[in-house]
Amino acid sequence: MKNIEKYTRGYFMPPVKSLKWTEKEYITEAPTWCSVDLRDGNQALIVPMNLEEKLEYFQLLLEVGFKEIEVGFPAASETEYAFLRTLIEENLIPDDVTIQVLTQSREHIIKKTFEALQGAKKAVVHLYNSTSVAQREQVFRKSKEEIINIAVTGAKMLKKYAAETEGNFQFQYSPESFTGTEVEFSLEICNKVLDIWQPAEDNKVIINLPATVSMSMPHVYASQIEYMSDNLKYRDNVVLSLHPHNDRGTGVADAELGMLAGAQRVEGTLFGNGERTGNVDIVTLALNMYSHGVDPKLNFENIPAIISKYEKLVRMTVHERHPYGGELVFTAFSGSHQDAIAKGMKWREEEDCQYWTVPYLLIDPMDIGREYEGDIIRINSQSGKGGIGYILQQNYGIDLPNEMRESFGYSVKNVSDHNQKELMPNEIYDIFMNEYVNINTPFEYIRYQYKQNGQYETIVSLRVNNEECELTGYGNGRLDAISNVIQTQLGIDYKDLIYKQHALEIGSGSQAVSYVGITSNNGTVYWGCGIDTDIMNSSVKALFSAVNKMVTSLQLSVERELIK
């Protein structure tokens, strides 16, 4: 790569070690979640949502279970202002939900913000100004003292206008671009704001520390958060909040380690929509907690419905590989993965397990509204016998013997490879039916009769070359007698007959299915399947299916005289 020398690490480690977070194993309780979809998310859209769409999205956030929702920047545009007034005047905000609005530290903006908030039952007013070295030097060209003055002046104005406005208000301050700010300076400016607001047990203040631009590895952010948590004034009455972005692809990790480091609240969006690479994805954060047995206090039990509404309103799609929500995230195409999943699912049924431990599946897809059928195992040329057998069993009740799965697996993979496509369950079923079930050429089985005189005497009726004939044979059982007919009177040699049968329970009434494998003289195993309402007939059909596959494959010629 060129130009490496132009890049430097623009973040700041705390002045003292802050590593207590490393001693914690996992997050033990859900943070307070604040959705910023309607502000950060909306402002990042090519076409921002209109009033009706924002109202519909607000309802979606309520259904998911958010209790704090940032609804916009009411002083920024008429749509933002009208949206907030509509929520308040039409009483659309549940009593247990707090709305949040954003404002810069400028008096005319603060004044209009409180005008928009008139009559709000419960609202957070979110004040911010940028504090990083880059912003101070390049954008504002101001000293640290001047930047502190912007924050302090804004904090005083919030107190003034809140006292003059009908409503119930909580204050929040963000040193924007926190990750590019000297940690000691972030602490100084936040404490100056806290001194103005004087947080109390019944009037807590939110200090929000945004990774406005993700600049470091997640452990650095965690150390910064822990230092702030340990040194903020009025700490018992301060709610420490995170607002990670995803520039380095570490937004989720930043948030998780930040919570270990003392943060009590997280601002983010559904599926990470936001400026540039986006905000932290609350869906992933919440379901990561869920995978550890911790209730995230948000409802993603029908994630397909959430995605459908989300994609309609933001006009973007959730990527197929997006954690938890993506169409393919629970799907295995690899043969070894499919085999492990199929065996894991069977083991769960047999053992009646309390905990979810299925290989390759972090959580049970059913718990978030996904289906096993079509979601977990899908078939292409990379798939294996385990997955292919699982598809037949789950969708059609056909439980292939383990020895037969390899043979059928090759048949399916060859079709997929030849056609260069994924195969749907119905296509896999069709391949099975066409290649293995009730095969009737060159020998078409019609019926059999038997009587037992010490051993079974069995008469088998066949049709060969459009002519019907009857052959008699003997054996220890009906299937053994019929097998002897085939070998002695048709002259077809094979050995090691393998046999399995079961009821066909899915969609087939009282039908039975049988599987038979035979081994030719060259060592190749040929499989056949029979399906019939009579269990014995299904067995005979399976045997003839296997024999017909072997005869056809080896191109054996059977003289007509043998069956006269």
Q: Are 527 and 513 in contact (CB under 8 A)?
A: no
- The answer to whether residue 213 is domain-embedded is yes
Q: Is the same domain home to 69 and 135? A: yes
Q: Is the pLDDT of residue 560 over 50?
A: no
Q: Do both 396 and 466 map to the same domain?
A: no
Helix (H, G, I), strand (E, B) or coil at 332: strand
What average pLDDT score do residues 157-175 get? 97
Q: Identify the pLDDT of residue 212.
A: 95
Which tens digit of pLDDT belongs to each residue from 218-251?
A: 999 999 999 999 999 999 999 999 999 999 999 9
What the block records as the tokens of 423 is 């195969």
Instruction: Assign 112 to helix, strand or coil.
Output: helix
CA distances from 311 to 48, 271, 306, 369, 380 (A): 13, 10, 9, 17, 28
Beta-ladder partners of 103: 127
Q: How many CA atoms lie within 13 A of 145 on its CB side?
A: 0
In this structure, is residue 325 part of a structural domain?
Answer: no
CB 159 within 8 A of CB 195: no
Terminus-to-terminus CA distance in the chain, angstroms? 82
Same domain, 348 and 294: no
Residue 15 lies in a domain: no
- pLDDT at 303 > cutoff 50: yes
**Quick one: pLDDT at residue 564?**
44
Q: Which two tokens stand for residue 479?
A: 């299937």
Judgement on whether residues 206 and 285 belong to the same structural domain of the protein: yes
Residue range 103-119, pLDDT digits in tens = 999 999 999 999 999 99
Q: Which tens digit of pLDDT belongs to each residue from 171-217?
A: 999 999 999 999 999 999 999 999 999 999 999 999 999 999 999 99
What CATH number corresponds to the domain at position 163? 3.20.20.70
Which residue, of 436, 464, 498, is where some domain finishes?
436
| Separation CA 186–CA 127 (nearest Å) | 15
pLDDT value at position 563?
A: 44
pLDDT, position 378: 72
**More confident of the two residues 423 and 28:** 28
pLDDT at 557 over 60: no
Of 253, 284, 301, the residue that ends a domain is 301
* Domain match, 457 and 428 both: no
User: For residue 78, is it within any domain?
Assistant: yes
- 380: containing domain: 335-436
Same domain for 101 and 139, yes or no, is: yes
478 and 417 both lie in a single domain: no
Q: What is the pLDDT of residues 263-288, one digit of tens each?
A: 999 999 999 999 999 999 999 999 99
Question: Tokens in use for 321?
Answer: 């590989």
The answer to whether residues 277 and 369 belong to one domain is no
CATH number of the domain within which 449 lies: 3.30.160.270
Confidence grade of residue 392 (pLDDT, cut at 50, 70, 90) = confident
| Residue 285: CA count within 13 A, CB half-sphere | 36
Is 307 among the domain residues? no
* Proportion of the chain above pLDDT 70, given as a percent: 96
The answer on 432 and 451 residing in a single domain is no
pLDDT band at 507 (very low <50, low <70, confident <90, very high): low
pLDDT at residue 562 is higher than 60:
no
Do the domain assignments include residue 497?
yes
Asked whether the predicted pLDDT for residue 75 surpasses 70, the reply is yes
244 and 102 co-located in one domain: yes
Q: What number is the average pLDDT over the span 386-408?
A: 85
Total domains in the fold of the chain: 3
The model's confidence at residue 259, banded by pLDDT at 50, 70 and 90, is: very high
Any domain includes 465: yes
DSSP 3-state assignment of 121? strand
* Within a domain: 313: no
- pLDDT bucket at 395, cuts 50 / 70 / 90: confident
Considering 402, 418, 436, which residue would you say is the last residue of a domain?
436
pLDDT at position 330 over 80? yes
The answer to whether residues 102 and 112 touch, using CB atoms and an 8 Å cutoff, is no
Residue-wise pLDDT for 410-468, tens only, equals 888 788 888 888 888 888 899 999 999 999 999 999 999 888 777 888 889 999 888 89
- Euclidean distance between CA atoms 238 and 205, whole angstroms: 5
- What is the spatial distance between Cα 300 and Cα 286, in angstroms, rounded to a whole number? 9
CA dihedral 128, 55, 93, 111 (to 10 degrees): 40
Output the pLDDT for position 491. 87
Answer yes or no: do 103 and 222 share one domain: yes
pLDDT at 384 over 80: no
On whether both 194 and 98 belong to a single domain, the answer is yes
Q: How confident is the model over 485-506, as pLDDT tens digits? A: 999 888 899 999 999 998 886 5
Mean residue pLDDT of the chain comes to 92
Per-residue pLDDT, 4: 92
**138-152, 437-451, 452-466, 546-560: range with lowest mean pLDDT:** 546-560
